[in-house]
């Protein structure tokens, strides 16, 4: 009789949890218009609050803090200040697990975009170790991308390199990217291609004013839909 009672209590708890998850999913749908599902939840040690991992239709996950009734949701960022080490560590782990999961999904989608534009926009450079490839998505106006381009010789010592030059930071970037691809058509040797790449990332580089940027914009939209929300975006295979 006691076992049966415990089993009933357990089922009731599961039922409550499912109901709360449904409420949470409905709260987000009603307020943000996004369909999500709860894939994991953990206690925080704070009364009435749990750590929840939400999955979007594209497979990307969002870690949040949610009230037990599913009616209040608070986003989580890398910046977290708390004197409760247990809470902080739990939150950090959920955040890092979500980012790792998202990186895997985004990487696969970005690689599909590289394949889609393999013949037209992907710049391929041969490295010393041809068994490895470093994929770079870079913007001519991005200072961190500039640093990666300056390290090309070092990267090529350990792998092949494939690049997509994009216009993530505005129309000037899009014009520079489009101008780069126009000039790249005349470059045959790897040395000439690298020299052009480095010149495009210098502040002194001036793009063509009337250059067609439509393809650059299309690629940028596809990358954003894939989950790329910053440059440089780097994949090592």
- CATH number of the structural domain spanning residue 43: 3.10.450.520
Tens digits of residue pLDDT in 50-73: 889 899 988 888 899 999 888 998
Q: In the prediction, which pLDDT does 15 show?
A: 35
Q: Are residues 95 and 139 in the same domain?
A: no
- Does 8 score more than 60 pLDDT? no
- The closest of 162, 151, 165 to 126, measured between CA atoms, is 162
The pTM for the full model equals 0.75
Domain match, 143 and 68 both: no
Q: Are residues 123 and 82 in the same domain?
A: no
Confirm whether 160 is domain-assigned: yes
pLDDT of amino acid 79: 65
- The stretch 92-120 carries a mean pLDDT of 92
The reply to whether 64 and 129 lie within a common domain is: no
Better pLDDT: 192 or 10 = 192
Asked whether residue 121 falls in the same domain as residue 224, the answer is yes
Q: Is residue 49 part of a domain?
A: yes
Mean residue pLDDT of the chain comes to 87
More confident residue, 96 or 156: 156
The parent domain of residue 206 ranges over 117-236
Q: What is the CATH number of the domain that holds 160?
A: 3.40.30.10
| Among 46-50, 106-110, 135-139, 175-179, the least confident range | 46-50
Q: If you search the block for the tokens 């390290």, which residue do you land on?
A: 151
Mean pLDDT of 87-107: 88
54 and 143 fall within a common domain: no
53 and 35 in one domain?
yes
Q: Are residues 98 and 142 in the same domain?
A: no
Does one domain contain both 136 and 226? yes
> Which of 108, 125, 148 is a domain's end point?
108
Q: What is the tally of structural domains in the chain?
A: 2
* Distance in angstroms (rounded) separating the CA atoms of residues 97 and 93: 6
In a domain, 43, yes or no: yes
Task: For residues 78 and 60, state if they share a domain.
Answer: yes
Domain boundary among 62, 84, 108: 108
Report if residue 55 sits inside a domain: yes
Q: Is residue 3 part of a domain?
A: no
Neighbours of 102 (CB within 10 A): 18
The predicted pLDDT at position 17 comes to 39
In a domain, 14, yes or no: no
- Judge whether 5 lies within some domain: no
User: Mutual orientation of helices 190-200 and 171-184 as an angle, nearest 10°?
Assistant: 160
Q: Which of 60-69, 71-80, 189-198 has the highest mean pLDDT?
A: 189-198
Instruction: Determine the pLDDT at residue 42.
Output: 85
pLDDT at 5 over 90: no
Q: What is the per-residue pLDDT across 116-174, written as a single tens digit (0 to 9) for each?
A: 999 999 999 999 999 999 999 999 999 999 999 999 999 999 999 999 999 999 999 99
Residue with tokens 């170790």: 129
Q: Are residues 122 and 216 in the same domain?
A: yes
Pick from 108, 142, 175: which residue ends a domain? 108
- 1-15, 41-55, 212-226: the lowest-pLDDT one: 1-15
Per-residue 3-state assignment (H helix, E strand, C coil) for the chain = CHHHHHHHHHHHHHHHHHHHHHHHHHHHHHHHCCCCEEEEEEECCCCCEEEEEEECCCCCEEEEEEECCCCCEEECCCCCCCCCHHHHHHHHHHHHHHHHHHHHHHHHHHHHHHHHCCCCCCEEECCCCCCCEEEEEECCCCHHHHHHHHCHHHHHCCCEEEEEECCCCCHHHHHHHHHHHHHHCCCCCHHHHHHHHHHHCCCCCCCCCCCCCHHHHHHHHHHHHHCCCCCCEEEEC
Identify the residue with better confidence: 50 or 7: 50
Q: Which whole number is the average pLDDT over 97-103?
A: 90
Same domain, 131 and 218: yes
- Least confidently predicted of 23-37, 74-88, 178-192, 210-224: 74-88
In a domain, 11, yes or no: no
């Amino acid at each position: 009789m006691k076992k049966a009672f415990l089993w009933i209590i357990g089922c009731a708890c599961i039922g409550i949890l499912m109901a709360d998850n449904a409420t949470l999913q409905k709260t987000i749908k009603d307020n943000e218009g996004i369909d999500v599902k709860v894939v994991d939840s953990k206690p925080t040690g704070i009364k009435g609050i749990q750590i929840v991992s939400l999955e979007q239709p594209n497979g990307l996950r969002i870690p949040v803090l949610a009230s037990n009734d599913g009616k209040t949701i608070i986003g989580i960022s890398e910046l977290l200040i708390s004197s409760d080490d247990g809470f902080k560590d739990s939150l950090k782990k959920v955040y890092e697990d979500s980012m790792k999961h998202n990186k895997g999904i985004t990487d696969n989608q970005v690689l599909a975009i590289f394949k889609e534009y393999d013949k037209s926009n992907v710049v391929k450079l041969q490295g010393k170790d041809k068994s490895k490839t470093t994929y770079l998505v870079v913007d001519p106006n991005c200072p961190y991308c500039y640093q990666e381009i300056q390290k090309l010789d070092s990267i090529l010592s350990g792998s092949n390199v494939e690049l997509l030059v994009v216009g993530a930071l505005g129309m000037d970037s899009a014009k520079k990217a489009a101008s780069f691809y126009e000039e790249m058509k005349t470059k045959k040797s790897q040395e000439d291609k690298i020299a052009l790449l480095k010149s495009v990332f210098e502040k002194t580089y001036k793009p063509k004013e009337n250059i067609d940027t439509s393809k650059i914009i299309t690629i940028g939209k596809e990358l954003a839909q894939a989950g790329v929300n910053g440059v440089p975006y780097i994949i090592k295979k």
